Amino acid sequence: MSNDPLIDLDSDEPEPFAVTPGFIAFMAMLILPFVLAIGIYAGAAFVADDVYAADAAEAQQAQASKADASQFQTKDVAGWKRTLVGVCPLH
């Protein structure tokens, strides 16, 4: 066994690239916001028609007279759908 250092400080050669857990975490932090944005956009696109139809039915029911209001069926939408469409700035 010699007393040579593990890293040669006088060497000009770069160390080989290694995929470490820190590098994987860094890349995940860079990519995660884009993946979440795509998921929110796609989810809002799927449920936007339900939310807009419910809003239109509520507006139509509000415009109808109280006597005729019983003929309109209010299409209630789950709260998470309204929130998802409300969060997405493109919908």
> Which range is most confident: 3-12, 33-42, 47-56?
33-42
pTM above 0.95, yes or no: no
Tell me the mean pLDDT in the region 44-72: 75
Round the average pLDDT of the chain to a whole number and report it. 81
Domain map of the chain by residue range? 36-66+74-91
Which one, of 86, 88, 11, lies nearest residue 42 by Cα?
Answer: 88
Q: Would the pLDDT of 66 be above 70?
A: no
Asked whether 55 and 48 are in contact (CB, 8 A), the reply is no
What whole-number distance in Å separates Cα of residue 57 and Cα of residue 48? 14
